[in-house]
Amino acid sequence: MRQKAKPCGQDGALTEEERKVGEDLLDTLRAKQDTCVGLAANMIGKNLAIIAVSLGPVNVLLYNPVITSRKDPYPAEEGCLSLSGVRKTLRYQTITVTYRDGNFAQHTQTFSGFPAQIIQHECDHLQGILI
């Protein structure tokens, strides 16, 4: 988990393995929904740039997510399935993320509040960063 994740869709489309890893992430997120709100592929042993995030009633996959804008920093304390306890970190209230969906279509979306915090945490994992 300390290495940077590899981008998906190097040939302009997702491979079957990349799709399977995405489904595995969603399955794992559903199975751990009582204690988990986000996962990165490297947390399940796959060094790919994929995250799964719980956005309330919906879980979504973001392939190759990149945070392009950050606004309103604040101190946060977070837990992680990969570590025990909680740790202090700096997060941003509002972020803009560019990512690919399951059809490999590109999107740019702004997130605020807790969903933004989850995405920042998981994107850190993709960069090899543990809180």
Say if residues 108 and 96 touch (Cβ distance below 8 Å): yes
Q: Cα(64)–Cα(22) distance, rounded to whole angstroms?
A: 12
CATH class of the domain whose range is 16-126? alpha beta
pLDDT tens digits, 16-49: 999 999 999 999 999 999 999 999 999 999 999 9
pLDDT at 102: 95
- C-alpha 79/C-alpha 118 separation (Å) is 11
This prediction's pTM = 0.95
Give per-residue pLDDT as tens, 65-114. 999 999 999 999 998 877 778 899 999 999 999 999 999 999 999 999 99
Q: Is residue 7 over pLDDT 90? A: yes
pLDDT at 1: 63
Q: Give residue limits of the domains in the chain.
A: 16-126
Secondary structure element (H or E) that encloses residue 90, with its range: strand 83-100
Among candidate residues 17, 77, 78, 122, the one labeled active-site is: 122
Look up 18 and say whether it is catalytic: no
**Residue in the structure block whose two tokens are 């997510």:** 65
